[in-house]
């Protein structure tokens, strides 16, 4: 590693995150030949490749995956070493990922305190389903994630953030919406609208459906808001986050069914990579979330 420069490490990290020389060049404000030259020189100094070249895309190989968290940590420690800031004047970039319910309905609760306290920090939030957020954590393209369901991976650590409630929703005129005492057998033959595969809400919906009589899946949609509108339109029943349906319920556009026989609570969690260096920015964000949780 003797002779490897911080610029070469920056190029390596940028290419790893972007997946291409072109993307890294745009991120670093360098020409593509300069990025290619820096990457080639890094691999020459290391004596081995860190990327596999597949159809014009660069994919970290096993050696690159081992080196990436070390390179990110070195760069972060260099920035911290050179900073003349007080703890209340943090700056830099933080790449966050949030699953759809959190990103669409709870983003203020997640980010508000940190943004107010650290206005010089640039936050980039990527919203997707839980499976995509976990993938972003594993390939180091995200610094921290926030997801709706459980995740079991030896390289990831989950920290509880807050409780969340789901509810079974129906159009106001649905036959089940007028019943005060529902039983599991009342759902026989029900038409269901589900989230897409990879969503934490989809996983919980499948567990719920396994405890009910057989029904029919009529639609799969990628967003809770789209599912809510489909329910309002009378297309079927759905399991949705309570926070997503409350305004429509109060307006009488959607009915929330009383289902005490179903377990519809879940934990929202922060996700951290165990090998990811937790520098000042990440530590400050974690502290802000803990304050919000308290």
What is the per-residue DSSP string for 119-184?
A: TTEEEEEEEE-HHHHHHHHHTTS-SEEEESS----TTEEEEEEEEEEEEEEE-TTSTTTT-SS--G
Task: Clarify whether residues 158 and 271 are in a common domain.
Answer: yes
- Residue 78 above 90 pLDDT? no
Q: What is the pLDDT of residue 82?
A: 66
Task: Clarify whether residues 168 and 250 are in a common domain.
Answer: yes
Which CATH number fits the domain that encloses residue 203? 3.40.190.10
Task: Clarify whether residues 147 and 279 are in a common domain.
Answer: yes
Q: What is the pLDDT of residue 170?
A: 97
For residue 50, give both structure tokens: 């860190």
pTM of the shown model? 0.80
Q: What is the pLDDT of residue 124?
A: 92
Q: Do the domain assignments include residue 196?
A: yes
Task: Give the model confidence (pLDDT) of 6-16 as tens digits.
Answer: 999 999 999 98
| pLDDT band, residue 294 (cuts 50/70/90) | low
Domain count within the chain: 3
Task: Clarify whether residues 10 and 32 are in a common domain.
Answer: yes
Task: Clarify whether residues 171 and 261 are in a common domain.
Answer: yes
- Residue 151 above 90 pLDDT? no
Range name among 49-53, 127-131, 148-152 with the lowest pLDDT average: 148-152
Task: Clarify whether residues 250 and 275 are in a common domain.
Answer: no
Q: Do the domain assignments include residue 221?
A: yes
Mean pLDDT, residues 115-120 taken together: 90
Regarding predicted confidence, which is higher, 276 or 256? Answer: 256
**Mean model confidence pLDDT for the chain:** 90
Domain that holds residue 145: 87-162+267-293
Task: Clarify whether residues 189 and 250 are in a common domain.
Answer: yes
- Spatial CB neighbours of 29, under 8 Å, sequence gap ≥ 6: none
Task: Give the model confidence (pLDDT) of 40-62 as tens digits.
Answer: 999 999 889 999 988 778 888 98
Q: Where a domain ends, among 82, 103, 128? A: 82
Contact 220, 198 (CB under 8 A): no
- 252: helix, coil or strand? coil
Range name among 168-172, 195-199, 216-220 with the lowest pLDDT average: 195-199
Regarding predicted confidence, which is higher, 200 or 192? Answer: 192
Q: What is the pLDDT of residue 86?
A: 52
- Residue 92 above 90 pLDDT? no
Q: What percent of the chain has pLDDT over 90?
A: 63
Strand partners, 271: 145, 158
Q: What is the pLDDT of residue 84?
A: 54
Contacts 24+ apart (CB under 8 A), 43-50: 45/1, 45/2, 45/3, 45/4, 45/8, 46/1, 46/4, 50/12
Q: Do the domain assignments include residue 1?
A: no
């Amino acid at each position: 590693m003797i002779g490897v420069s911080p610029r070469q490490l920056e190029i390596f990290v940028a290419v790893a995150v972007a997946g291409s020389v072109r993307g890294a060049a745009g991120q670093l404000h360098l020409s593509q030949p300069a990025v290619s030259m820096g990457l080639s020189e890094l691999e020459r100094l290391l004596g081995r490749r860190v990327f596999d070249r597949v159809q014009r895309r660069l994919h970290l190989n096993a050696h690159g995956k081992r080196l990436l968290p070390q390179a990110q940590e070195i760069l972060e420690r260099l920035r911290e070493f050179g900073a003349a800031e007080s703890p209340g004047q943090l700056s830099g970039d933080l790449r966050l990922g949030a699953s759809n319910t959190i990103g669409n309905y709870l983003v203020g609760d997640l980010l508000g305190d940190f943004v107010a306290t650290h206005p010089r920090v640039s936050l980039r939030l990527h919203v997707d389903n839980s499976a995509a957020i976990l993938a972003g954590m594993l390939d180091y393209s995200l610094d921290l994630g926030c997801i709706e369901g459980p995740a079991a991976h030896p390289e990831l650590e989950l920290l509880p953030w807050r409780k969340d409630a789901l509810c079974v929703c129906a159009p106001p005129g649905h036959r089940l919406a007028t019943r005060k005492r529902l039983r599991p057998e009342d759902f026989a033959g029900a038409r269901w609208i589900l989230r897409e595969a990879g969503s934490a809400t989809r996983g919980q919906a499948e567990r719920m459906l396994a405890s009910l009589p057989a029904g029919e899946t009529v639609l799969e949609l990628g967003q809770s808001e789209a599912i809510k509108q489909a329910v309002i339109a009378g297309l079927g029943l759905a399991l949705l986050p309570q926070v997503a349906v409350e305004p429509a319920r109060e307006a009488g556009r959607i009915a929330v069914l009383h289902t005490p026989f179903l377990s519809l609570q879940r934990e929202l969690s922060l996700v951290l990579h165990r090998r990811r260096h937790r520098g000042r920015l990440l530590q400050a964000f974690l502290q802000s979330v803990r304050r919000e949780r308290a």
